[in-house]
Structure 1
Amino acid sequence: MTASALAALYLRNDLLTSHLTALALIYFLGGAVSWLVVVPFTRRFADHRPPTTRFAAFFLALSIGTLAMTAFLFAMDYRWFYARWHAPFGSLIWIFQFLFTSASAVYQFAVLGSTLFLPLGLLCLIAASAYLVRHMR
């Protein structure tokens, strides 16, 4: 997923961003953590099913899991940046600030960040799903 994000950034602006390392790390960790969580979970539920059903299960689970984990990491990075202006931990105001900061970060990721998956991410998703269907024990 990092390669897809970097390719999209290269096509858009020749990688001219001051946050290239942070973006690469967020997209890498989003894909890696999602893989570690989603693949065993999906294998358990897709076992003893036809290959087309297994492919659909892996495709759907990997796509949703990767988007969700990357959006979560993006939201936590957003939260880390704005934490210095938020109320003390645990207060009611802090809870509202945390929720709305996270919601706005997820929305911003959905609008702007999810498009970075499209040049290569879709092809990698199809290839990974097909690989997992073939090599399922």
Structure 2
Amino acid sequence: MPRSPLPSVLLWMGGSLAWALAMAASFQLSVHLFGRATSSNDLALTLIYAAGGLIGWLVALPLIYLVERRGGPQTVLAAWLLLLGIVTVGAIAGIYVLQYRTFYAHWHAPFPSRIWVYQQIFTTASALYQFAVLGLRHLLPVGLAMLLVLSMMMARRSR
């Protein structure tokens, strides 16, 4: 029986929820197991990581499926590792940027002004830098290990 060109609903929805929980667990383990202290905003940050995992899965899965139909096992493994990893980190960083921008919007100039554009650019750049320095560490080593295991399982499944 030929494979469907789209992922199943169970894989799409169940996988997105599982990956969201995995990213939230990665954050929590990083904070509590490895002692990477944050502020009193642990719940909000956990939700940011979970939402990034959810969005990352939902966006990466169709892209991975496109690669899966054309490539061999090594290509599928690479697709899971790279696409799911990059899209998940990008989604978490994007949500972080939105939260950062929302916080600083109070002090920004009115919407259509040139100063407002500069403020948006520099606020986004600052948020991405802060996420790169402080946020990515919460995905290591637990999130990376989960990504490796999941990628190997899914690549094996696709054969």
* Cα drift, residue 43 of structure 1: 1.1
Aligned amino acid, residue 85 of structure 1: W
Q: What are the residue-to-residue correspondences of 1:20-35 with 2, within 5 Å?
A: 20-35=42-57
Give the corresponding residue for 1:89: 111
TM-score normalised according to structure 1 size? 0.92
> 1 CA distance for matches of 2:153 and 2:112?
45
Displaced runs of 4+ in structure 1, greater than 2 A? 134-137
Alignment length, in residue pairs?
A: 136
Q: Please point out which of 16, 35, 39 is paired with 1:12.
A: 35
Q: Which has the higher contact order (CA 8 A, sep 6+)?
A: 1
Matching residue of 2:88: 66
Q: Structure 1 regions of 5+ residues with no counterpart?
A: none
Q: Does 1:117 align with 2:139?
A: yes
Could you tell me whether the CA contact under 8 Å between 1:4 and 1:121 is conserved in 2? yes
Distance 1:48 1:82 in 2: 45
| Alpha-carbon contact 2:108-2:116 (below 8 Å) kept | yes
Show structure 2 runs of 5+ residues with no match: 1-22
| Alpha-carbon distance between aligned partners in 1 of 2:138 and 2:114, rounded to the nearest angstrom | 35
Shift of the alpha carbon at 1:134?
A: 3.0
Match of 1:51 in 2: 73
CA distance in 2, matches of 1:83, 1:117: 28
Give % identity.
43
Q: Establish whether residue 37 from structure 1 lines up as the match of residue 59 from structure 2.
A: yes
**1: CA distance, partners of 2:35 / 2:69:** 41
SS at match of 2:35: helix
C-alpha spacing 1:39/1:108, structure 2 compared with 1 (3 Å):
same
From 98, 101, 104, the counterpart of 2:126: 104
Shift of 1:59: 0.2
Q: What does 1:116-135 align with in structure 2 at a 5 Å threshold?
A: 116-135=138-157
- Preserved CA contact (<8 Å) 2:67 2:75: no
